[in-house]
Chain A
Amino acid sequence: MTPGSVQHENPDRLYTVTGGRSRADDARLDLVALIVSESQPVPGMQSEHAEILRICRAPTAVVEISADLRLPVSVVRILLADLLDTGSVTARHPRTAAGARLPDPDLLKQVLVGLRKL
């Protein structure tokens, strides 16, 4: 386990942040779904929501938001569900979502080209 990570987070805070909800099993946002703000934070907004809107001015993966907020991914998914519901953010879902099959060769070719260019 990584020291200094969020694992010893106070459970009370997690409860407060999510209003005690747990929607972890809703249609799940992928770890690398890219989230983009569609509106500005407004006064009175829950601070985590406002923070997400600021972070996602540029596309930002769910895991990056989680690391920035120091909140577990499952909690971030709940916060994002709120923002998605109100259209405050949109999600760019990966094409390679869960599935037994390998990604198609074209996609892999593009990955290879990108890696070789680094």
Chain B
Amino acid sequence: MDSGNCEPPVRAPLADTADEGLKIVIVGGFGVGKTTMVRSVSEIRPLNTEETMTQAGVGIDETAGADGKVTTTVAFDFGRISLNARMVLYLFGAPGQERFWFLWDRLFSGTLGAVVLVDPRRVADSWYAIDRLEHHGLPFVVARNNFGPPVHSLDQIRDALTLDDAVPLIDCDARDRESGKTVLITLVDHLYALSRAQEMAT
């Protein structure tokens, strides 16, 4: 991988007027469909990259350098949706494991909100993500990605997740563009309602 001969990007360029990048994060356990959902709604083929961050001596599974600092790497993939002439929404598919959350604040500060994808066969995989989102105060919706005919009702899923009634919970098919769009609209509708309520309260 020599930078001197990187393949030129083949994706469509953004409009010259684009000036407002926005972020939404899709989180969930391994193999729950994060990348699939990014792909189905993105206007570009999902790209991936990583962020390495250095932190003074914190005990994560990474190697400490000679200066006692710890370098942690998080890989993520992302897609893009041009919303209008100015606004571009970036969707990040992010892993749900522990060291990722440790870096959350720095990696995804300024994120509008999150989608938690749940595999109904492995509901417990989402507990950690939901707990951390609540802890960080980042608004989110939960989408059940059905890998077959649903066995449980959404109410049963809500109970299993001990999810607050105020948090939207919907079904989705991560492979389907319309379904992915609906999930995003549900999230932004939710954010809008929260933002209106906050504005009213101040």
Chain A residues engaging chain B, CB cutoff 8 angstroms? 1-2, 4-7, 9, 13, 17, 22, 24, 30-34, 47-48, 51, 54-55, 57-61, 63-64, 66-75, 92, 94-105, 108-116, 118
Contact = CB atoms under 8 A, between A and B. Distances in A.
Contacts of A110: 83-84, 87
Contacts of B139: 102
Nearest to A116: B185
B181 to A, nearest CB: 6
Contacts of B196: 105
Contact of B23 (A31, A64, A74): A31
B184 A115 contact: yes
Contacts of B3: 13, 17, 47-48, 51, 69-71
Interface bin, chain B? 35 or more
A61 B109 contact: no
B153 interface: no
B198 A101 contact: yes
B61 interface: no
Contacts of B165: none
Interface string B1-37: 1011010110001111011111100000000000000
Contacts of B185: 112, 115-116
B77 interface: yes
A64 B82 CA distance: 14
A72 B138 CA distance: 25
Contacts of B189: 112
Looking at A13, A24, A61, A63, the one whose CB has the most chain B CB atoms below 10 A away is A63
A103 B195 contact: yes
Given A68-B6, A96-B112, A105-B196, 8 more contacts: A4-B48, A31-B108, A59-B15, A64-B80, A71-B3, A92-B18, A114-B83, A118-B181
Contact of B181 (A7, A47, A68, A115): A115
23 contacts: A1-B95, A6-B50, A7-B73, A24-B53, A30-B110, A34-B21, A59-B13, A60-B13, A67-B49, A70-B1, A72-B52, A92-B18, A94-B20, A96-B110, A97-B110, A102-B198, A103-B191, A105-B195, A108-B188, A108-B192, A114-B81, A114-B87, A115-B188
A6 B49 CA distance: 6
Given A100-B137, A108-B192, A115-B185, A5 B50 contact: yes
B194 interface: yes
Nearest to B184: A115
B78 A63 contact: yes
Given A66-B49, A111-B83, A114-B84, A34 B14 contact: yes
B90 interface: yes
Which of A71, A75, A102 has its CB near the most chain B CB atoms (within 10 A)? A102
Given A1-B95, A61-B90, A94-B110, A72 B23 contact: no
